[in-house]
Amino acid sequence: MTWVDAHTHLDLPAFDVDRADVLDRARAAGVGGFVICAAAPHDWDQVERVGRQIGAAWTLGVHPWWGTDLDDATHDALLHALSRRQTPHGIGETGLDFARAKEPVARERQRSSTRAHLALARERGVPVVLHVVRAYPQITALLKADGVPEAGAMIHAWSGPPDTLDKLATLGVCVSIGAGVATSSRIAEVAARVPDPLLLLETDAPDQPWTPGARGEPADLVRVAERVAALRGCTTLQVMDLSARNARTLFPAL
């Protein structure tokens, strides 16, 4: 089976010089499926362009890092622009990052933005990609209130407390594990017990590299899988196959 990196930013300039070589290294490692997730509206065209060129699934959204500091009118205009774009594979990134949003007004803007993304995903029958930092109880409450899109949802680069896993798993939210599993005991605890149908693996390349100070690449997914397999008491091949099947369920275009 060709394996899948469930969350990347292969559109970014960090890959402009050698994107083809990066993809060759990934495929040589067995990783041939990719999901490219947009962070900011000025990335949307490039995300779609690269996604189409390499046969990846791609998603468009307004990342909470990018949108938190905008005024309401500007943010609403971007959400309107998103509603006019084609998003055949998914919506996102969106979500709650309370490490960035310190003030109540900023946190409420993130909630409002996430609800708008969720509504668009439900309307279009596509999954949503969530970025969540220091707001796991809050995203759980929001998803319970608004509903998870029928096509599904994933929290990428899980960093939350283990005691929130079961509540989100009950909602059917996929959990994507990245390089943090090598350094965080609570991520490792979650990686060990994510229900099989909800487990995804990612690199977030070029961010969150396996080797500190290096550029992350999809080929690093094998290292993530090795650590997750050790935690789950199974083989790397089993973890890679499982996560690839789950990714293709969430993103059928892969």
pLDDT in tens, 197-244: 999 999 999 999 999 999 999 999 999 999 999 999 999 999 999 999
Predicted pLDDT of residue 69: 81
- DSSP element (H, E) containing 188: helix 185-193
CATH number at residue 92: 3.20.20.140
- How high is the mean pLDDT of the chain? 97
Q: In this predicted structure, what is the pLDDT of residue 137?
A: 98
> pLDDT band for position 71 (50/70/90)?
confident
Sort strands 153-155 and 128-133 into parallel, antiparallel or unpaired. Answer: parallel
How confident is the model over 144-162, as a mean pLDDT? 97
The residue type of 154 is M
Tokens, residue 159: 């960093």
pLDDT classification of 64: cutoffs 50, 70, 90: very high
Q: How far apart are CA 124 and CA 120, in angstroms?
A: 6
> What range does the domain containing 158 cover?
3-250
Question: Which pLDDT score, from 0 to 100, does residue 67 have?
Answer: 83
Total count of domains within the chain: 1
Q: What is the pLDDT of residue 72?
A: 87
> By percentage, how much of the chain surpasses pLDDT 70?
100
Residue 66 has pLDDT above 90, yes or no: no
- Residue found under tokens 């690839």: 244
pTM passes above 0.75:
yes
Q: What is the pLDDT of residues 97-141, one digit of tens each?
A: 999 999 999 999 999 999 999 999 999 999 999 999 999 999 999
- Residues, the chain: 254
User: Which residues face 196 on adjacent strands?
Assistant: none
158-180 residue pLDDT tens: 999 999 999 999 999 999 999 99
At 44 the pLDDT is 98
Task: Please give the span between the terminal C-alpha atoms of the chain, in angstroms, as a whole number.
Answer: 12
pLDDT given at position 253: 96
pLDDT at 212: 92
Instruction: Identify the pLDDT of residue 1.
Output: 81
Q: What's the mean pLDDT in 181-189? A: 97
pLDDT confidence of residue 132? 98
**Average pLDDT of the segment spanning 25-48:** 97
Residue where the block lists tokens 């509504």: 119
